[in-house]
């Protein structure tokens, strides 16, 4: 049984909560204010928050570089996802996202972010995992 309980406060940024869940290998974290439990944030809640983001539109006639910048901008807002570990390739009406994520949840969140971009065309996601020991963790 855990004696050290990890908690967050109500105004903890979503990205910080996502990193905490990943780092501590937990699925939920209690939200505490003035020593009282006021809620619980789960991984599903983080996905819901991401899905609730407004849809981004790519203007017709946008070139490949402009599309790539919009995609990378959307992925940069995914909690826990590091866009430095991603490569986005845009060719005409096709998008391929290659890279490394730490978990299935991060991959799912990336897919949700991509689905929220209107006008992308065909999107293929090729994300792999590197075990924590490879990072020295």
Sheet strands side by side (includes 122-129): 86-91, 94-101, 122-129
Q: What pLDDT score was predicted for residue 127?
A: 94
DSSP 133: G
Q: Would you write out the chain's pLDDT as a tens digit for each of its 137 residues? A: 567 889 999 998 887 888 888 888 899 999 999 999 999 999 888 878 777 776 677 888 888 999 999 999 999 888 778 889 999 999 988 999 999 988 888 888 899 889 888 888 899 999 998 877 777 76
User: In CATH, which superfamily holds the domain spanning 56-135?
Assistant: Fe-S cluster assembly (FSCA) (3.30.300.130)
Instruction: Return the closest-CA partner of residue 29 out of 13, 48, 6, 4.
Output: 6
Radius of gyration of the chain, Cα coordinates, nearest whole angstrom: 17
Element (H, E) at 35: none
Read off the pTM.
0.64
Question: What are the domain boundaries of the chain?
Answer: 56-135
């Amino acid at each position: 049984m855990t004696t050290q309980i990890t908690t967050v406060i109500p105004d903890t940024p979503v990205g910080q909560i996502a990193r905490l869940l990943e780092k501590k290998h937990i699925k939920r974290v209690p939200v505490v204010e003035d020593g009282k439990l006021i809620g619980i944030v789960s991984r599903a809640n983080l996905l819901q928050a991401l899905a609730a983001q407004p849809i981004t539109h790519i203007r017709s006639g946008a070139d490949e570089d402009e599309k790539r910048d919009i995609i990378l901008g959307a992925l940069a807002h995914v909690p826990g996802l590091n866009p430095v570990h991603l490569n986005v390739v845009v060719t005409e009406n096709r998008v391929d996202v290659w890279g490394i994520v730490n978990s299935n949840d991060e991959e799912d969140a990336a897919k949700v972010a991509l689905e929220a971009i209107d006008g992308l065309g065909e999107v293929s996601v090729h994300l792999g995992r590197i075990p924590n020991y490879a990072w020295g963790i």
